[in-house]
Amino acid sequence: MNLYKLNRATHRDFGYFFAAMTIIYALSGIALNHRKDWNPNYIIERSEHQVVIPGDIKTNEKMAVVEILKQINQEDNFRKYYFPSADELKIFMNGGGSVAVNLTNGKLLFENLKKRPIFYEVNFLHYNPGRLWMWFSDFFCVALMVLAISGLFILKGKNGITRRGAWLTAAGIIVPIVFLVMYY
């Protein structure tokens, strides 16, 4: 097998094998680039409620917390609580949600977290969940470099690396350099 055929076969096979990984990292990369605009992992639903504060909240804290949560149908979802100040109660819910209660006026803010479908899972993988995944991800990064380099030599002639491909490759090198100069 000549070098040209080996290059095409390597490019093709790595491309097929890593197609899913490319989509995972591309999707999570877009999501993580926009963390200031939205939470890529969770959908946060906020709701305000008016609740009645039990009179014995200081003497029987846990029962009072359960009584407050009953008013918003969340009594079974409670994990722990604390009092950040004398007139405020903060309750943490199973699954990551929280409740903030103003003990003076009975205003309650409930923040419910739901895992964002697809994005939660791809971001989990992007954050490197374990050692084996890290090694697989490293292999994927090397494979991306092989794909990029082998892709340069797939086409011959006027669309190949010696003509049109050279101009496009040069433009692709210049763009990150321009941004590096702008931001660095």
* pLDDT at residue 30, rounded to an integer: 93
Is residue 182 exposed (0-12), middle (13-18) or buried (19+ Cβ within 10 Å)?
exposed
Kindly report, residue by residue over 141-181, the tens digit of the pLDDT. Answer: 999 999 999 999 999 889 899 999 999 999 999 999 999 99
pTM recorded for the entire structure: 0.72
Higher-scoring residue by pLDDT: 133, 58: 133
CB 7 within 8 A of CB 153: yes
User: How do residues 12-71 score in pLDDT, each as one tens digit?
Assistant: 999 999 999 999 999 999 999 999 999 999 999 999 999 999 988 888 899 999 999 999
CA dist., res. 141 & res. 60, Å (int):
56
The class of domain 42-115 in CATH terms is alpha beta
The predicted pLDDT at position 96 comes to 86
| Domain layout of the chain by residue ranges | 3-38+127-183, 42-115
Q: Answer yes or no: is pLDDT of 1 > 80.
A: no
